[in-house]
Amino acid sequence: MEELLGQLGAGLEVSTIKALTMSTFGILNWHARWFREGPGRIDLVEYAKLVTEFVLAGMTGVVAMRAIEVGQ
């Protein structure tokens, strides 16, 4: 995961990549504590899609904001 996020966030500091990696695992691991199937709830496939979009969009946002901070 860290390698993948490092590729997505090329140019970010190693410490930032590590923090993003741990945050991603936190999202995935916490899911098991609250997920319940049923009416009015997101299903497992939709959750996987949502988390994937969240992580990718989040990485894009972090990279863009860090680039602005250093004036790139």
**Predicted pLDDT of residue 58:** 85
Per-domain boundaries in the chain: 2-69
pTM score, two decimals? 0.69
5: exposed, middle or buried (Cβ count in 10 Å: 0-12, 13-18, 19+): buried
For residue 72, what pLDDT is reported?
Answer: 61
Spatial separation of the C-alpha atoms in residues 32 and 35, rounded to whole Å: 6
CB neighbours of residue 1 within 10 Å = 13
- Per-residue confidence of the chain (72 residues) as pLDDT tens digits? 888 888 888 888 899 889 988 988 888 888 767 777 788 888 888 888 888 898 888 888 888 888 888 776
C-beta separation of 54 from 27 below 8 A: yes
